[in-house]
């Protein structure tokens, strides 16, 4: 059935083309044009609906102004299946939105992938674990793979596995297209109650928001084998740490928390002591500053992946087995380093909670997160929480600036990586930063970048403090505190500012350089200004990009994340900053 007014085209290679706009028609039904003779367009009436429905089972790949490209993958379908979406519901969505018939091969592939989710299960048989299936042909097929068979003990046609190979078998099976539903259960861990307070120690009322409680309950699943492992996806600023506290309260055992840096460790500890009944001696930090262990222990990925040489052992992996942990929390799970996957494969008997703002990994290891941490258990679109006031309303603005004429020859003769750096460090960006600051004189402004020399020069020029990876943790904490209080209105930070810093009053972020098109980085940087503001105001996220350069090419990749979360991504020339302020700060 052909419905030309619909916005979606589904192609045989599982790519989806979503039209974002339609032509504006004049009174005679012809395409209207502006004064320069360009066609006038308006947002497609079903675009927003289609974007939100597709996000449940497809990944956004490209987002130019008029046509967005999505792709359906096995992992995107398995995550949808884990949240209860059926093949029939996905098919109904595609057929409802498509303007031309949906290729049958796509529907068959979706049905096949959905059918494979949970087709193989790991179940406990008294003191042993068994790989089982209601379809004997499926089990026979996977046992035909030598790499699978070597991990199992075959007895009378039944496939048994050791506890320590649960992770390895799941990794091997997902590589051949079989995601395993692990119902082998968990070690309870040493009991340790973690009560939540009704009034925080800071004196403020504390209670779980409805979606935070729902996320924790979806993960816990009443303590059954149907829950206990998986990922909660929530926007930065939506209180993922609080979800972690709620899960810890439900599980009630000793807990190991892994996060991105020492500042994040301190913030987790502060949240635990503020919002739970734990005493200071109940919460330990295992970092370079001190290696204490307590019933709740917080460490960093960097600490656990440290080793003396590239071939030496990871000396701190023993932390995973040092205590009888009943829960391991992986903060910012999309940044989980590859070496941690190795030890995580051995931790399948522990409950595992992943927290993240995006499941996208730059190394393509989404399948590793899926099989070792668990499937997506809960997800709320950013715009839904914004509409309800749980995160600040945000505008995303890309400001394009020409390359400094004195740098053009340097750019022309550089290799691809060099071109990106030259364009990223374009000195004309400094004047743009000044003009943005002039537009927001009362704002709490974070300036974030990739290259230290660029940031040092900008900090000197603006007479603003700078935080980099070399800034001692006590100095960082003092500067963050001064920024929160308003004593420091402008703070320049390197990529250490991407992760797990709580600066609720930051309402303007200026990105002057970034990693090569990293969507996960864009999520973190936007998140720095999404905490709800005490006065209810919104936030603005600026990206300054060198026009017509590699910088702009990679900015288009980062734009994908903002677009898939439903944000309008405005693009302006630097000269537009001279326009009246009302046009910028709506």
pLDDT band at 360 (very low <50, low <70, confident <90, very high): low
The predicted model gives 296-302 an average pLDDT of 92
pLDDT of residue 263: 77
* CA proximity to 120, closest of 139, 146, 147: 139
- For the chain, the residue count is 586
Residue 74 has pLDDT above 60, yes or no: yes
* CATH superfamily, with its number, for domain 210-380: P-loop containing nucleotide triphosphate hydrolases (3.40.50.300)
User: Which helix or strand (DSSP H or E) is residue 436 part of?
Assistant: helix 429-439
Cα–Cα distance for residue pair 63/47, rounded to 1 Å: 13
**What CATH number should be reported for the domain whose range is 389-583?**
3.40.50.300
DSSP state, residue 371: I
Helix, strand, coil abundance in the chain, percent, nearest 5: 40, 20, 40
Comparing 66 with 182, the larger pLDDT belongs to 182
Phi and psi at residue 464, in whole multiples of 5°? -115, 150
Q: Is 577 helix (H, G, I), strand (E, B) or coil?
A: helix
Where in the chain do CATH 3.40.50.300 domains reside? 210-380, 389-583
Structure confidence at residue 262 (pLDDT): 84
Asked whether 348 and 171 are in contact (CB, 8 A), the reply is no
- Does pLDDT of 166 surpass 70? yes
Distance from C-alpha of 98 to C-alpha of 424, rounded to nearest angstrom: 40
Looking at residue 582, its pLDDT comes to 42
User: pLDDT at position 65, please?
Assistant: 62
CA 279 – CA 285 distance, rounded (Å): 14
- The yes-or-no verdict on residue 62 having pLDDT over 70 is no
Supply the Cα-derived Rg of the chain in whole angstroms: 25
pLDDT in tens, 38-48: 778 788 899 88
Classified as helix, coil or strand, 333 is: helix
Q: Are residues 336 and 192 in contact, defined by beta-carbon separation less than 8 angstroms?
A: no
* 207-211, 239-243, 394-398, 449-453: least confident range: 394-398
What is residue 414's DSSP assignment? Answer: S
pLDDT score, position 562: 66
Task: Give the other-Cβ count within 10 Å of 482's Cβ.
Answer: 14
Q: pLDDT tens-digit profile of 453-500?
A: 999 999 999 999 999 888 888 888 898 889 888 899 999 988 765 554
pLDDT of the residue at 583:
38
For the stretch 433-445, pLDDT in tens is 999 999 888 888 9
How far is it, in rounded angstroms, from Cα 360 to Cα 335? 10
Angle, helices 104-116/87-97, rounded to nearest 10 degrees: 150
Kindly report whether the global pTM for this prediction surpasses the value 0.85: no
pLDDT higher than 70, residue 152: yes
Dig out the tokens for 472 from the structure.
Answer: 């001692």
Q: What pLDDT does 63 receive?
A: 63
Which residues have C-beta within 8 Å of that of residue 464, sequence separation ≥ 6?
A: 447, 458, 488, 490, 491, 492
Average pLDDT over residues 557-566: 63
Dihedral (CA of 468, 546, 18, 565) sign: positive
For residue 576, pLDDT beyond 90:
no
Q: Alpha carbon of 169 to those of 145, 165, 512: distances in Å?
A: 12, 6, 44
CA 113-115-120 angle, to 5 degrees, is: 100
Mapping DSSP to helix (H, G, I), strand (E, B) and coil, where does residue 531 land? coil
The pLDDT of residue 531 is: 60
pLDDT value for 584: 38
Helices (H) and strands (E) in the chain, counts: 22, 26
- DSSP string for residues in 352-390: EEEEES----TTSTHHHIIIII--EEEE--HHHHHHTTS
Sheet architecture: strand order including 255-259: 290-291, 283-287, 296-300, 255-259, 327-330, 351-356, 229-233, 376-379
User: Regarding predicted confidence, which is higher, 496 or 426?
Assistant: 426
pLDDT at 236 over 50: yes
Closest CA to 76 of 34, 99, 110: 110
Q: Is the pLDDT of residue 126 over 90?
A: no
Those residues whose C-beta lies under 8 Å from the C-beta of residue 89, and which sit 6 or more positions away, are: none
Buried b vs exposed e over 432-441: b needs ≥16 C-beta within 10 Å? bbebbbebbe
Report, as an integer, the average pLDDT of 250-274.
91
Phi, psi (degrees; rounded to nearest 5) at 152: -120, 160
Q: How far apart are CA 408 and CA 405, in angstroms?
A: 5
Q: Estimate to the nearest angstrom the gap between the alpha carbon of 449 and the chain centroid.
A: 19
Say if CB 238 and CB 392 are below 8 A apart.
Answer: no
Report the C-alpha gap between 581 and 131 in whole angstroms.
64
Q: What angle do CA 210, 262, 365 make, to 5 degrees?
A: 70
- pLDDT given for residue 43 in this prediction: 83
> What is the spatial distance between Cα 340 and Cα 335, in angstroms, rounded to a whole number?
10
User: Which residue reads 């258990």 in tokens?
Assistant: 377
Give pLDDT tens digits for 488-546: 999 998 876 555 455 656 788 898 987 654 555 555 556 555 565 555 567 788 989 99
Q: Which of 78-87, 221-230, 510-519 has the lowest mean pLDDT?
A: 510-519
What CA–CA distance (Å, rounded) separates 532 from 391? 5
Locate 419 and state its tokens. 């071109």
Structural contact between residues 449 and 507, judged by C-beta atoms closer than 8 angstroms: no
Check residue 13 and report its DSSP letter: T
| pLDDT for residue 258 is more than 90 | yes
CA distances from 491 to 487, 545, 584 (A): 11, 20, 21
Residue 58: φ, ψ to 5°: -135, 155
């Amino acid at each position: 059935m052909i419905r030309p007014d619909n916005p979606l085209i589904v192609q045989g290679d599982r790519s989806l083309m979503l039209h974002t706009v339609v032509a504006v028609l004049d009174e005679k039904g012809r395409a209207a044009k502006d004064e320069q003779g360009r066609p006038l367009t308006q947002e497609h009436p079903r675009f927003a609906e289609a974007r939100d429905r597709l996000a449940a089972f497809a990944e956004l790949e490209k987002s130019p102004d008029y046509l967005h490209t999505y792709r359906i993958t096995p992992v995107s379908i398995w995550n949808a299946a884990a949240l209860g979406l059926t093949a029939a519901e996905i098919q109904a969505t595609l057929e409802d939105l498509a303007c031309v018939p949906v290729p049958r091969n796509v529907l068959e592939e979706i049905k096949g992938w959905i059918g494979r989710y949970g087709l193989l299960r790991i179940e406990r048989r008294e003191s042993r674990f068994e790989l089982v299936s209601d379809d004997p042909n499926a089990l026979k097929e996977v046992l035909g793979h030598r790499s699978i068979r070597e991990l199992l003990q075959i007895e009378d046609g039944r496939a048994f596995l050791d506890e320590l190979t649960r992770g390895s078998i799941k990794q091997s099976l997902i590589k051949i297209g079989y995601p395993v539903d692990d119902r082998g259960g968990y070690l309870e861990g040493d009991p340790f109650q973690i009560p939540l307070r009704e009034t925080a120690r800071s004196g403020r009322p504390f209670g779980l928001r409805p979606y935070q409680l729902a996320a924790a309950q979806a993960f816990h699943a009443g303590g059954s084998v149907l829950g206990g492992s998986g990922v909660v996806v929530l926007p930065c600023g939506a209180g993922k740490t609080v979800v972690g506290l709620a899960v810890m309260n439900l599980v009630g055992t000793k807990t190991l928390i892994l996060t991105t840096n020492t500042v994040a460790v301190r913030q987790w500890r502060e949240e635990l002591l503020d919002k739970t009944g734990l005493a200071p001696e109940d919460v330990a930090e295992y970092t370079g500053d001190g290696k204490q262990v307590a019933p709740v222990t917080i460490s960093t990925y960097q600490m656990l992946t440290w080793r003396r040489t590239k071939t030496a052992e990871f000396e701190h992996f023993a932390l995973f087995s040092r205590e009888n942990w009943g829960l391991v929390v992986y903060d910012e799970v999309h940044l989980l380093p590859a070496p941690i996957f190795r030890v995580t494969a051995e931790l399948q008997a522990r409950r595992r909670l992943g927290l993240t703002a995006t499941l996208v990994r730059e190394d393509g290891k989404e399948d590793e997160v899926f099989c070792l941490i668990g499937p997506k258990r809960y997800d709320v679109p950013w715009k839904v929480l914004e509409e309800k006031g749980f995160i600040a309303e945000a505008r995303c603005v890309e400001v394009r600036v020409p390359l400094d004429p004195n740098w053009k020859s340097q750019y022309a003769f550089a290799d691809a990586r060099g071109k990106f750096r030259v364009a990223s460090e374009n000195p004309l960006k400094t004047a743009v930063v000044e003009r943005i600051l002039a537009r927001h004189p009362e704002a709490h402004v974070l300036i974030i970048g990739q290259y230290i020399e660029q940031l040092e020069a900008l900090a000197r020029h603006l007479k603003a403090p700078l935080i980099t990876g070399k800034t001692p943790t006590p100095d960082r904490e003092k500067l963050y505190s001064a920024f929160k209080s308003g004593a420091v209105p402008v703070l320049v930070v390197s990529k250490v500012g991407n992760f797990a810093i709580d600066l609720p009053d930051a309402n303007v972020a200026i990105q002057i350089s970034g990693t090569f098109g990293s969507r996960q980085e864009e999520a973190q940087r936007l998140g720095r200004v999404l905490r709800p503001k005490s006065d209810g105001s919104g936030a603005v996220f600026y990206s300054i990009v060198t026009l017509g350069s590699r910088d702009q090419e990679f900015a288009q990749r980062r734009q994908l994340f903002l677009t898939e979360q439903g944000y309008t991504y405005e693009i302006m020339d630097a000269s537009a900053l001279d326009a009246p302020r009302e046009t910028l700060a709506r």
